[in-house]
């Protein structure tokens, strides 16, 4: 009897040994799979060129350069193209395609203030954007004037009429409120489209054309109204400097092309914010 019990005990222990080996093998395999995960999801190293220029550590600096260059190009096209809405469409579309991935492609202080008012941009970034945009527009005026001076000298030698840069028309006396409302309405239309582009549109090309068509529609509406009073619609405080529309001898140019466009942008961003939130509540 004792011999049979010992034999059965030996068989049981022998039968349990392969199971123990299988369990050990499974544990080792699991540990290897866990250890291999960090290697597969390793973060790619930053290029040496980006580190050299410090754009990774200071992304705001890259955005400011983009806004400066973008506003310079846009303002130069508007002045050279005499403020034609169709040229503004293609100019803004091209600028947003060029710098939109870096800074967003605002190139307009009114849009920046509208984005800040709806809490889409911090106050510090908004101030920095506005300074860069104004400097870019001022540089466009200086550069175009420098070329114009050279052309004027050559024209004077040939006894021909000297060319001049395109300027915004003088505001009609007694009709300033009509031009103010035209600037407000046009910027509201433009800002409403811009708010949609900055918030909803993810494709770069679609975003660029949304902004371009937005400024085209705004200029068409506001420009048509302002033309009744022999005035211009600009919809951009920085470009107003390039068009020499600001005259500090009167409060009206500042009120129309600065305050009017800024209020229109805030109203446009706010209106889109309200309508988009209402739509989301209905869908929910």
* CB distance 275 to 115 below 8 Å: no
Q: Is 148 left (phi over 0), alpha (psi -120 to 50) or beta?
A: alpha
User: Angle at the Cα of 259 (from 221 to 246), degrees rounded to 5?
Assistant: 90
Residue 123: the pLDDT is 95
Tell me which of 25-39, 51-65, 262-276 is least confident: 25-39
Residue 27 lies in a domain: no
- The domain in which residue 260 lies consists of 57-283
Residue 54: the pLDDT is 44
Residue 120 lies in a domain: yes
**Phi–psi pair at 47, nearest 5 degrees:** -65, 150
In the numeric block, which tokens belong to residue 218?
């705004």
Task: Tell me the percentage of the chain whose pLDDT exceeds 70.
Answer: 74
pLDDT level of residue 23 (50, 70, 90 thresholds): very low
Alpha-carbon torsion 216, 70, 63, 44, what sign?
positive
* CB distance 204 to 100 below 8 Å: yes
The Cα–Cα gap between 74 and 98 comes to 11
Residue 184 lies in a domain: yes
The model's pLDDT over 193-236, given as tens digits with 9 standing for 90+, comes to 999 999 888 899 999 999 999 999 999 999 999 999 999 999 99
The model's pLDDT over 41-56, given as tens digits with 9 standing for 90+, comes to 444 454 554 444 444 4
The Cα–Cα gap between 216 and 221 comes to 9
Give 172's contacts (C-beta < 8 A, 6+ positions apart).
179, 229, 230, 231
For 15, what's the count of Cα atoms within 13 Å in the CB-facing half-sphere?
6
Q: Is 71 left (phi over 0), alpha (psi -120 to 50) or beta?
A: alpha
In the numeric block, which tokens belong to residue 214?
């937005």
The Cα–Cα gap between 273 and 275 comes to 6
Q: How far is CA 236 from the centre of its chain?
A: 14
- Neighbour count for residue 233 (Cβ, 10 Å): 28
Tell me which of 173-177, 260-264, 273-277 is least confident: 273-277
Residue 155 lies in a domain: yes
Domain count, the chain: 1
pLDDT level of residue 35 (50, 70, 90 thresholds): very low
The Cα–Cα gap between 73 and 107 comes to 10
Average pLDDT for 165-175:
93
Q: What is the CATH number of the domain that holds 118?
A: 1.20.1080.10
Q: Is 104 left (phi over 0), alpha (psi -120 to 50) or beta?
A: left
Residue 149 lies in a domain: yes
In the numeric block, which tokens belong to residue 136?
């870019």
Does the pLDDT of residue 261 top 70, yes or no? yes
Does the pLDDT of residue 4 top 80, yes or no? no
For residue 215, give Cα distances in angstroms to 89, 93, 210. Answer: 6, 10, 9
Residue 3: the pLDDT is 47
Torsion of CA 120, 122, 128, 130, to 10 degrees: 40
* CB distance 238 to 134 below 8 Å: yes
- pTM over 0.85? The answer is no
């Amino acid at each position: 009897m004792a011999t049979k019990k010992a034999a059965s005990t030996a068989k049981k222990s022998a039968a349990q040994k392969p199971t123990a080996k299988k369990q050990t093998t499974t544990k080792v395999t699991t540990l290897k799979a866990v250890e291999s995960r960090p290697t597969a999801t390793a973060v790619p190293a930053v290029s040496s060129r980006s580190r050299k220029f410090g754009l990774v550590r200071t992304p705001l600096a890259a955005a400011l350069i983009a806004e400066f260059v973008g506003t310079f190009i846009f303002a130069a096209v508007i002045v050279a193209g005499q403020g034609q809405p169709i040229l503004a469409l293609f100019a803004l579309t091209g600028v947003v395609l060029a710098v939109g991935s870096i800074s967003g492609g605002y190139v307009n202080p009114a849009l920046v203030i509208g984005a800040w008012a709806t809490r889409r941009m911090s106050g510090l970034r908004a101030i920095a954007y506005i300074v860069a945009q104004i400097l870019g527009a001022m540089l466009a005026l200086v550069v175009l004037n420098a070329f114009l001076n050279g052309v004027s000298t050559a024209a004077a030698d040939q006894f021909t009429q000297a060319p001049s840069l395109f300027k915004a028309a003088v505001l009609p006396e007694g009709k300033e409120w009509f031009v103010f409302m035209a600037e407000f309405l046009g910027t509201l239309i433009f800002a409403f489209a811009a708010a949609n582009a900055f918030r909803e549109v993810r494709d770069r090309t679609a975003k660029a054309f949304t902004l371009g068509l937005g400024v085209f529609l705004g200029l068409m509406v506001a420009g048509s109204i302002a033309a009744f009073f022999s005035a211009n619609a600009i919809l951009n405080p920085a470009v107003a400097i390039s068009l020499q529309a600001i005259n500090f001898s009167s409060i009206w140019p500042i009120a129309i092309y600065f305050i009017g466009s800024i209020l229109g942008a805030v109203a446009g961003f706010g209106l889109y914010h309200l309508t988009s939130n209402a739509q989301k509540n209905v869908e929910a």
